[in-house]
Structure formats: structure tokens, C-alpha cells
């Protein structure tokens, strides 16, 4: 935090400045407060509920507004107690987000908006500021988008949002002198000039549209050496050749398999493509730089409308693949000290207790996983033992069965055998006749 913010905070505490809080929400009830309006712009928006989550420091104080359905767009808003015109005043936006679901891809940012129809609130609704964490895979950042002349401009700095499953607090302060601070968990992560860190204005200079690179401009730093020649013994041989030791398989059928071709191998005599060596180009002019001229569309640095908004609503317009983010302790005020007081009574007061509750839950879940793993292992071993016993019983039963003797069936006489017997009988009769 810079010295200016500290002085402003001290002045507010000591009564040197009047402070007004235009919106504060701590979600201490059991349901979504009535002032929060679910958008009707889409029929399938995800629903919010109020809960302290799976782990918390205090069951009531830790309650917040939670996304409850996976793979949904969300859109909900609430009006400020009164419209806030921050001309000549600080605009302070602060809230907490707890990615209890260990989010893989989704937004966690808040929008502050001018007067609008909350039932029609959607991603195309005009807003003044969009601020907060946005996480998708390895892309993790804090969005800080400011609207100026109908266009939305993202801060150029990369700010780490803190992306574990604990509650984190996000604070944005816009000063009337067009400077800003961004704090994460009450630690300053970015500060400076709005004009420097957002591309709100056209660039001061542009490329001269009349300037052209000269036709004879030489931008090749190196050229082939005109005096270098290919050696006489350099042969432009192919990189791969047919394997001279390969033989056509004996079972190769040209009618079925086509013409046989020997496989390719690396050519041991291959020298590569010859190229002349490179030398510095004596005519090299260096890279041509397009000359610039003052931008006639460059805006007025003194434009007081930069960072000046009239805020009437806050809202969440999000997409989340995995639901479970809990938003809490939202405040919109004109004095940083007011936001710091809320932080001290909520975020700072309960951060350590929440961390302890998370540790207890982690240990409980770890023990549960280990117990389940042991139970699964025991069940697998029991199943394997049962299968082994069943196999052994089958083997014993087969071994105990008596052997059944099978008698060979008498051979059936064939027609050929009958013919042979008849021939023998005839021969015997003929022999007896001859003897007579």
C-alpha cells in the first residue's frame, strides 16, 4: 500500500474524512438475501445458495454466496443502498472468494454496474469495473477491467490471485487522481497510474503512414560467400540407398504382393547438401525502423472521466466448470479504512481458524482414503482366496472320481468275411468230390 492510501485511511479513522459505505453484504443468514436478484436472461443459469462450506472458522460468520451447479453460467446482482458517484472520491471495492472446490476453470470476479435491469443482467450488460480472480488451468490471474468510452480495458500487469482452497480477499482502490492500488489478502500486488497500466487512451505516437522502407534497403545481415566453392570430391549423393544385403523373401508372391523393393538404409557416403559458408553482408543496413509521428487521435491526459463512474449495482456474472466458490464480505465504499475495518472483523479474524479447519478436514479425508484403500485391498485378497479355494475343491473332486472301465464292443462281421466263409465251404465240397 502506498503512503497516500495510508494517510487517507488514517484521516478516515481520526475523523478527518467522512466515510460512506454504499454496499455491504456478509451473508450471515441461511438463504440468499432478498435484495439479490437472479437474472432471467437465460433459463439455465446456475443457482446460488448460502453456506459456510465443508470447512469453516465459524458456521455463521463464514457463510457466503456459493455457486452450486457444475458447468453453468451464473448471473445474479444486488442494488447499492444508494447510487455512488465517485467524482472526487475514492472508489473502493472489496470481497472474498473461497475456491473450496479446488477450481479447475472458472471466474471469481465481481462487477460494479450503472443502473440496469437486474432480471436482464448477462455477459453483455454494460459495467463500470470488473475485478477479481479468474482461473483456468495454469492461467491464473486477477482481472481488473475498467470501462472507458464504451470499451472495456484489462490491466496490463499480471497479478497472482492465490488459488488454493482457502478464502482470499481482493481489494481495488481507484483514486480521483487516476492512480490505483490492488491488494490480495491485504498485501499490495499492484499500484501506479491508471493511464500507464491500462491502455485506455490511444497511443501517443503511431507509425507514419507516409513512410515506406526504401526499395534498396538491405536487411539481410548474412550472405553466402561468393568466393566459396564446392570441393571437387563433393558428391551429391542421396541420403538413403537400398540395402545391398537385403534379399527378396522366398515366399514373396509378386502377383499377390507386388514388386519387391529392398528396404532403405542410411547412405554411408552421404555428405549432405553443399552450401557456401555465410559471411557478413557488407551492404547490410540493419533492421528498418518505421518512423512514428504524433497520434492525432491521442486523448486528453487530463480527461477527468477516466476512472469516474456512477455505480448502482454489484453482481456476479460467471462461468464455472466445477461449482463451489463461496463469495463473502462484499463492500463498496469511498474510504479504504471502511474496507479495512470489515477485513479485520472477518477475513483477518477468522483466517487462522479456517486454515485449522481445513487441516482437520484434510486429515479426516486422508484417513478415509487410507481406510477405503485398506478395505479394498482386504476385499481383493478375500476374493482371490475364495477363487483359489474354489479351484482347489474342483481339482480334488475330479481326482476322487472312480475310473470307468470300458469294454470293447465285439467286432461286427462284414460282408467280406461272410463271402470268405462261403468260398471255403465250396472249396471243401469240391475237394471231397474229387476224392470220390
Half-sphere exposure of 310 (CA within 13 A, CB side): 5
pLDDT tens per residue across span 392-404 = 777 777 776 666 5
8 A C-beta contact, residue 44 and residue 57 = no
The residue count for the chain: 436
The CA distance from 290 to 191, in Å, is 33
8 A C-beta contact, residue 51 and residue 45 = no
Instruction: Report the chain's terminal Cα–Cα distance, integer Å.
Output: 151
Q: Which three cell numbers stand for residue 2?
A: 502506498
Query: Which residue has cell 472507458?
Result: 148
Q: Residue 83, Cβ neighbours under 10 Å: how many?
A: 13
Residue 432 phi/psi, 5-degree rounding, is -65, -40
8 A C-beta contact, residue 320 and residue 70 = yes
* Residue whose C-alpha is closest to residue 298's, from 202, 196, 194, 200: 202
The CA distance from 109 to 141, in Å, is 11
The CA distance from 199 to 291, in Å, is 21
* Residue whose C-alpha is closest to residue 295's, from 199, 208, 206: 206
The CA distance from 403 to 104, in Å, is 69
Q: Which three cell numbers stand for residue 232?
A: 571437387
Query: Helix-strand-coil percent breakdown of the chain, rounded to 5?
Result: 25, 30, 45
Q: Does an H or E element contain 331, and which?
A: strand 325-333
pLDDT at 371: 83
Query: Which residue has cell 481445513?
Result: 358
pLDDT at 173: 98
* Residue whose C-alpha is closest to residue 88's, from 174, 196, 193: 174
Q: What contacts 24+ positions apart, CB below 8 Å, involve 205-213?
A: 205/292, 205/293, 205/294, 205/295, 206/292, 206/293, 206/295, 207/290, 207/291, 207/292, 207/293, 208/290, 208/291, 208/292, 208/293, 211/290, 211/291, 213/288, 213/290
Instruction: Answer yes or no: pTM beyond 0.75.
Output: no
pLDDT at 416: 55
Within 8 A by CB and 6+ apart from 165, the residues are 98, 99, 100, 101, 102, 358
* Tens digits of pLDDT across the chain (436 residues): 444 444 444 444 444 458 999 999 999 999 999 999 999 999 999 999 999 999 999 999 999 999 999 999 999 999 999 999 999 999 999 999 999 888 878 889 999 999 999 999 999 999 999 999 998 888 889 999 999 999 999 999 999 887 688 999 999 999 999 999 999 999 999 999 999 999 988 888 999 999 999 999 999 999 999 999 989 888 888 899 999 999 999 898 888 889 999 999 999 989 888 999 999 999 999 999 999 999 988 766 678 899 999 999 999 999 999 999 999 999 999 999 999 999 999 999 999 999 999 888 888 878 888 888 888 888 888 888 888 878 877 777 777 666 655 555 555 545 555 555 655 555 555 454 444 3
8 A C-beta contact, residue 355 and residue 363 = no
* Residue whose C-alpha is closest to residue 89's, from 330, 328, 299, 338: 338
pLDDT at 13: 46
Q: Residue 152, Cβ neighbours under 10 Å: how many?
A: 13
The CA distance from 127 to 129, in Å, is 6
pLDDT tens per residue across span 327-386 = 999 999 999 999 999 999 999 999 999 999 988 888 887 888 888 888 888 888 888 888
pLDDT tens per residue across span 191-247 = 999 999 999 888 889 999 999 999 999 999 999 999 999 898 888 888 999 999 999
Amino acid at each position: 500500500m502506498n503512503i497516500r492510501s495510508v494517510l487517507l485511511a488514517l484521516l478516515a479513522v481520526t475523523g478527518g474524512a467522512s466515510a460512506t459505505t454504499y454496499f455491504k453484504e456478509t451473508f450471515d443468514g441461511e438463504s440468499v438475501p432478498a435484495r439479490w436478484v437472479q437474472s432471467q436472461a437465460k433459463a439455465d443459469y446456475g443457482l446460488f445458495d448460502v453456506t459456510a462450506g465443508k470447512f469453516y472458522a465459524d458456521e455463521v460468520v463464514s457463510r457466503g454466496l456459493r455457486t452450486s451447479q457444475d458447468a453453468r453460467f451464473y448471473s445474479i446482482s444486488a442494488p447499492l443502498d444508494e447510487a455512488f458517484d465517485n467524482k472526487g472520491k475514492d472508489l473502493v471495492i472489496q470481497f472474498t472468494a473461497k475456491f473450496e472446490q479446488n477450481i479447475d476453470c472458472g471466474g471469481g470476479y465481481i462487477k460494479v454496474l450503472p443502473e440496469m435491469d437486474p432480471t436482464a443482467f448477462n455477459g453483455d450488460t454494460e459495467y463500470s469495473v470488473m475485478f477479481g480472480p479468474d482461473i483456468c488451468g495454469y492461467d491464473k490471474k486477477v482481472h481488473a477491467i475498467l470501462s472507458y468510452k464504451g470499451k472495456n480495458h484489462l490491466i496490463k500487469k499480471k497479478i497472482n490471485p492465490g488459488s488454493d482452497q482457502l478464502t482470499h480477499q481482493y481489494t481495488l482502490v481507484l483514486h480521483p487522481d487516476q492512480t490505483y492500488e490492488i491488494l490480495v489478502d491485504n498485501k499490495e500486488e499492484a499500484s501506479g497510474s491508471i493511464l500507464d497500466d491500462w491502455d485506455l487512451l490511444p497511443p501517443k505516437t503511431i507509425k507514419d503512414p507516409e513512410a515506406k522502407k526504401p526499395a534498396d534497403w538491405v536487411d539481410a545481415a548474412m550472405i553466402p560467400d561468393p568466393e566459396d566453392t564446392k570441393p571437387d570430391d563433393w558428391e551429391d549423393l542421396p541420403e538413403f540407398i537400398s540395402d545391398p544385403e537385403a534379399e527378396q523373401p522366398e515366399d514373396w508372391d509378386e502377383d499377390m504382393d507386388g514388386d519387391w523393393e529392398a528396404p532403405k538404409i542410411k547412405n554411408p557416403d552421404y555428405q549432405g547438401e553443399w552450401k557456401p559458408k555465410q559471411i557478413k553482408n557488407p551492404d547490410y543496413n540493419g533492421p528498418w525502423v518505421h518512423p512514428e509521428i504524433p497520434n492525432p487521435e491521442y486523448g486528453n491526459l487530463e480527461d477527468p472521466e477516466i476512472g469516474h463512474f456512477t455505480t448502482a449495482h454489484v453482481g456476479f456474472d460467471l462461468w464455472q466448470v466445477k461449482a463451489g466458490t463461496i463469495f463473502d464480505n462484499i463492500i463498496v465504499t469511498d474510504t479504504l479504512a471502511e474496507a479495512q475495518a470489515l477485513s479485520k472483523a472477518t477475513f483477518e479474524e477468522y483466517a487462522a481458524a479456517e486454515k485449522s479447519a481445513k487441516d482437520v478436514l484434510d486429515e479426516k479425508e486422508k484417513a478415509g482414503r487410507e481406510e477405503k484403500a485398506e478395505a479394498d485391498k482386504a476385499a481383493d485378497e478375500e476374493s482371490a482366496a475364495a477363487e483359489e479355494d474354489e479351484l482347489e475343491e474342483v481339482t480334488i473332486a475330479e481326482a476322487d472320481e472312480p475310473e470307468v472301465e470300458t469294454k470293447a464292443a465285439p467286432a461286427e462281421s462284414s460282408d467280406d468275411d461272410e463271402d470268405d466263409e462261403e468260398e471255403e465251404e465250396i472249396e471243401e465240397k469240391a475237394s471231397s468230390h474229387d476224392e470220390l
